[in-house]
Amino acid sequence: MHEFKYKNNHLYCEGLKVEDLVRRFDTPLYIYSYHTLIGHYMKLKTAFSRIAPLVCYSVKANSNLAILKALVDKGAGLDIVSRGELARAVKVGCPPEKIVYASVGKTSQEIEEAVKSGILFFNVESLPELENINRIAGQAHKIARVALRINPDVEPRTHKFITTGKITNKFGIDFETASGILLFRQRFAHLKICGLHIHIGSQITDSAPFVAAITKVARFARQLEKDGVSLEYLNIGGGLGIVYNQETPQTAKKFAARALPLLKKTGLKIIMEPGRFIAGNAGILVTKVLYVKSTPKKKFVIVDAGMNDLIRPALYGAYHQILSIRCTLNAIRSPEKVDIVGPICESADFLAKDRRMPKVKAGEYLAVMGAGAYGSSMSSNYNSRPRAEEVMVVKDKVFAVRKRENHSDLMRNELIPSFLLGL
């Protein structure tokens, strides 16, 4: 469910007409619905209220400060993966005891900063990383809290680039190694190993892989308890899938019905790290049609948003629904098959391929749906294209939440050496 709906044939975000927003803010434009964002967060909180989990929104999905602040104000914690994301978490006033830190390649500098800021714990991905955190915490005269990220070796049935819980993936620690670490945890004098973590992949539409992974890790926690290792937390990661096209993902309620009994039985405090589930359908990317070009074999709708603005179709072959922001057009114009492409000189620069669309004309606007997660956060300046403007709508009010970059933003950190300037 989301708050992007047609009213009187015009697409609205909450109480505002998308057409008015693009006229005011220009395109490409990311539009976020505040109430959709918070609504999704609350859905998860409510579905799992019996165990009152700490929901740490996964910053990487959409790291805009306004998105983070909106969620933190509602009590969310944050799941971070870099010192840049830590800086954002601090900036929006997220309490450190609600921050968890994953990533297979945390640098010593990143570890040091996070130890000093007193985060809840690190999700640790390997033995050498654990040793490094122990060393850095010792130097800082601190005890660092950590959870071991377990690789449970389950098949999440999603795109191979976003599969993370199989033993051939780079993520996490296998059960045997984890067991060795936990049984000999006294070796790590500056660590408190307080939990286990799993994150098996992203855009998972079925509960079964989650259930399989939770079952495995819960069994492991029970065995550890018998062996005298008691833990406090179980972090079940993110990965809940959303509707982009014809998917029928498990709802928060259905997921809770399957997962709650297993989680409750562990007796551990539960943490979740959803990103896409919260932000995915809370954002759209609006783009203007520049040209419509016919070739002997194909028809191309050339728009002003490219793979630098939304890379998901190019990188994962991802499907995003694309709608005209005026739906009267849908009714009166017969559909035709087109490729919707950006202006960038790469054949991977497309938003949709062979898509049946009502005939569109130059100058019209299209809304790329489900662009709230991994849209702007994965955007780049490729082709020296400024990153898009972002706005947040709250009922009938709109707030700019990221200004469009200009040329000097793009060149800010570049230098021409003096010898090239003839100095």
Q: How far apart are CA 409 and CA 402, in angstroms?
A: 13
Measured CA to CA in angstroms, residue 57 lies from 48, 169, 207, 277 at distances of 15, 23, 19, 9
Q: Is 345 part of the annotated catalytic residue set?
A: yes
Nearest-approach distance from CB 162 to ligand LLP, in angstroms: 5
DSSP state letters, 96-157: GGGEEE--TT--HHHHHHHHHHT-SEEEE--HHHHHHHHHHHHHTT--EEEEEEB-------
φ, ψ for residue 387 (rounded to 5)?
A: -70, 150
Supply the minimum distance, in Å, between the C-beta of residue 60 and ligand LLP.
6
In terms of CB distance, is 162 or 302 closer to ligand LLP? 162
Binding site for ligand LLP (CB under 6 A): 58, 60-61, 79, 102, 162, 199, 202-203, 237-240, 273-277, 312, 316, 373-374, 378
State the angle between helix axes of 207-226 and 252-266 in degrees (0 to 180), rounded to the nearest 10.
10
**How far is 306 from 308, CA to CA, in rounded Å?**
5
Distance from the Cα of residue 186 to its chain's centroid: 36
Two structure tokens written together for 225: 């308890």
337 within 8 A of 362, measured Cβ to Cβ: no
Q: 185, 145 in Cβ contact below 8 A? A: no
| CB count in 10 Å sphere of residue 63 | 21
Neighbouring CB atoms inside 10 A of 353's CB total 14
Closest distance of CB 197 from ligand LLP, Å:
8
**From the CB of 47, what's the least distance to ligand LLP, in Å?**
15
Query: Min. distance of Cβ 274 from ligand LLP in angstroms?
Result: 4
Residue closer to ligand LLP by CB (options 240, 338) is 240
Q: Active-site residue among 56, 94, 327, 345?
A: 345
Residue 423 neighbours by CB under 8 Å, 6+ apart:
none
Which is nearer to ligand LLP, 316 or 319 (by Cβ)? 316
How many whole angstroms separate alpha carbon 229 and alpha carbon 184? Answer: 10
CA gap 67, 62 in Å, rounded: 7
Q: How far is the CB of 312 from ligand LLP (least distance, A)?
A: 5
Nearer to ligand LLP, 58 or 308 (CB): 58
Give the residue among 268, 156, 263 at the shortest CA–CA distance from 214.
263
Using the minimum distance from each CB to ligand LLP, give the nearer residue, 246 or 294.
246
**Among residues 60 and 355, whose Cβ is nearest to ligand LLP?**
60
CB of 123 to ligand LLP, least distance (A): 6
Four-residue CA torsion sign, 217, 223, 229, 231? positive
Residue number with CB closer to ligand LLP (60 or 83)? 60
Active site residues: 345
